[in-house]
């Protein structure tokens, strides 16, 4: 049996969490900028741009499960997961630089092909880093509430990364003129941040506990089948899928909403992002305490309801409203988004622990792969929806970026910013209500015999070897 680790040193939690900075800069920058960049700067049609973003994620149908199985079965001297972090760092940084420095080709077909290739490379790099990264917490600690504490460090770095993507990027765009040169500057600076953050995570987690499987592994098909039988996990990823479709829809619409709908300067988005980050970080200890008092699921329900309220608050917005209302929404979204991320990831780790207790197998990589696939697929589905909505309502990409669009186009922008996120959030409450895994249930879980195997529980006891680098 592996020696229990209920409490982790703060330094280790900090260094593991630092990896989320690069992930957040990578994912949020692309979520916020890519559709606007491809349509308004590169010159692709909205429908084609949204389709490219979505289609590039289809590779994850194969790549994420494969990466999860590889990291579960790997036996490196310094653990199953950590060596992949460096490879993922190189590819992620390179793909980001490629994506926002698209050359001016002679025709749309060549431009679309280049953009698609860069998006696929981004997808692969993200998978190689994020799947092993998200599998690490289940190995690092056994503490039910320590997982929330560990993920609270991650959320802090996610918040900082989101600020870089959502606040610093608009500032750079406004300063450098919103054209290709501005995006080239973002590509250079942000690629460096992505690489440094991911490598720092690798270097800083050398003392983290990790395990090797000593039992024979199931086939890939059998592992997926067992994963689908983990009901708490399936309800959790269904909840996240719905929520991320809404979040990605709003992110993809943000620059259109700021420039064409509200018609305000981009620096207001920078202030919005800074307020959001401060509130999110301040709410971390609140949500950790709330999850202890009322349970993780109930705290998650609260944060989701706040997000729905935030999404609906955009409906009465118009160019003439006081700017303080715009900033007030930053407070509202800061309250809920950190809680959503923290609680979902803590609950994910619990569902992985449930599987280990039942089967005796350490399959963190497979679970992280499925979660990562749902995360990326849903995040790509948002831009797909928005792209086709804008195409349907007749968004004119040839107009100057500060020109007035037709009323039906403005309504389409509102749909992406408010109505899709609110509807997705409300639907997610239905799936979240079916999640029923708490500390008592987890503690009482006993090993289950595999079909056709010795029913003696001792035969299915977890067998792992603790290794320290």
Q: Is the pTM of this model over 0.95?
A: no
Q: What pLDDT, in 10s, does the model give residues 352-376?
A: 888 878 777 767 777 877 887 888 8
Helices 296-312 and 267-294, packing angle to 10 deg: 150
Q: Which span out of 275-284, 413-422, 437-446 was modeled with the highest average pLDDT?
A: 413-422
Phi, psi of 210, rounded to the nearest 5 degrees: -145, 170
Q: What pLDDT, in 10s, does the model give residues 192-247?
A: 999 999 999 999 988 876 655 545 455 556 666 667 778 999 999 999 999 999 99
Phi, psi of 266, rounded to the nearest 5 degrees: -65, -25
Question: Burial of 204 by CB count in 10 Å (0-12 exposed, 13-18 middle, 19+ buried)?
Answer: middle
Q: Which helix (H) or strand (E) holds 55?
A: helix 46-56
What is the pLDDT at residue 101? Answer: 94
Please indicate whether residue 178 or residue 161 has the higher confidence score (pLDDT).
161
Q: At residue 1, does pLDDT exceed 70? A: no
Q: At residue 396, does pLDDT exceed 60? A: yes
Q: At residue 455, does pLDDT exceed 70? A: no
Strands (E), 207-257: 210-213
What is the pLDDT at residue 310? Answer: 96
Distance between CA atoms of 403 and 46, rounded to whole angstroms?
Answer: 17
**Any idea what DSSP says for residue 395?**
-
Phi, psi of 211, rounded to the nearest 5 degrees: -130, 160
**Any idea what DSSP says for residue 450?**
P
> What's the mean per-residue pLDDT of the chain?
84
Distance between CA atoms of 65 and 79, rounded to whole angstroms?
Answer: 19
Number of Cβ atoms within 10 Å of the Cβ of 433 = 12
Question: Burial of 400 by CB count in 10 Å (0-12 exposed, 13-18 middle, 19+ buried)?
Answer: exposed
What is the pLDDT at residue 465? Answer: 38
For tokens 């979660």, name the residue: 371
What is the pLDDT at residue 450? Answer: 53
Q: Percentage of residues in the chain with pLDDT exceeding 70?
A: 88
Q: Residue ranges of the domains in the chain?
A: 10-213+225-444
Distance between CA atoms of 220 and 368, rounded to whole angstroms?
Answer: 14
Distance between CA atoms of 139 and 413, rounded to whole angstroms?
Answer: 43
Domain 10-213+225-444 falls under CATH 1.20.1250.20: yes
Question: Burial of 210 by CB count in 10 Å (0-12 exposed, 13-18 middle, 19+ buried)?
Answer: buried
């Amino acid at each position: 049996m592996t020696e229990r680790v209920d409490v982790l040193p703060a330094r280790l939690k900090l260094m593991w969490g630092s990896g989320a900075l690069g992930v957040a800069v990578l994912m949020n920058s692309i979520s916020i900028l890519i559709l606007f960049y491809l349509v308004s700067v590169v010159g692709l049609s909205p429908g084609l741009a949204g389709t490219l973003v979505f289609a590039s994620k289809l590779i994850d149908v194969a790549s994420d499960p494969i990466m999860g199985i590889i990291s579960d079965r790997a036996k490196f001297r310094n653990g199953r997961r950590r060596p992949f972090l460096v490879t993922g760092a190189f590819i992620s940084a390179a793909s980001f630089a490629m994506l926002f420095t698209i050359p001016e080709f002679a025709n749309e077909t060549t431009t679309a092909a280049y953009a698609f290739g860069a998006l696929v490379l981004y997808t692969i790099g993200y998978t190689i880093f994020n799947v092993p990264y998200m599998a690490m917490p289940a190995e690092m600690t056994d503490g039910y509430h320590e997982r929330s504490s560990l993920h609270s460090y991650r959320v802090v770095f996610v918040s900082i990364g989101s600020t870089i993507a959502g606040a610093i990027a608009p500032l750079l765009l406004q300063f450098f003129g919103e054209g290709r040169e501005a995006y080239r500057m973002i590509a250079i600076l942000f690629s460096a941040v992505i690489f440094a953050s991911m490598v720092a995570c690798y270097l800083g987690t050398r003392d983290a506990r990790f395990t090797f499987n000593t039992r024979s592994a199931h086939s890939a098909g059998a592992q997926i089948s067992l994963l689908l039988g983990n009901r708490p996990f399936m309800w959790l990823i269904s909840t996240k899928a719905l929520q991320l479709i809404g979040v990605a829809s709003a992110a993809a619409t943000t620059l259109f909403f700021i420039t064409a709908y509200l018609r305000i300067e981009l620096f207001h988005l920078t202030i919005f992002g800074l307020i959001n980050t401060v509130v999110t970080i301040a709410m971390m200890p609140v949500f950790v305490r709330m999850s202890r008092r009322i349970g993780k699921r109930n705290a998650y329900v609260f944060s989701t309801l706040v997000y729905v309220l935030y999404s609906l608050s955009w409906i009465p917005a118009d160019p003439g409203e006081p700017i303080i209302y715009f900033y007030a929404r930053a407070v509202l979204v800061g309250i809920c988004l950190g809680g959503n991320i923290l609680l979902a990831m803590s609950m994910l780790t619990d569902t992985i622990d449930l599987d280990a207790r039942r089967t005796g197998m350490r399959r963190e990589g497979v679970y992280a792969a499925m979660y990562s696939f749902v995360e990326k697929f849903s995040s790509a589905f948002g831009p797909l929806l928005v792209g086709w909505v804008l195409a349907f309502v007749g968004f004119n990409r040839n107009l100057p970026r500060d020109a007035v669009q037709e009323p039906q186009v403005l309504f389409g922008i509102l749909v992406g910013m408010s109505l899709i996120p609110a509807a997705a959030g409300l639907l997610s409450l239905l799936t979240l209500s079916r999640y029923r895994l708490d500390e008592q249930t987890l503690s009482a879980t006993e090993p289950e015999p595999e079909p056709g195997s010795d029913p003696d529980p001792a035969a299915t006891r977890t067998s792992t070897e603790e290794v320290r680098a």
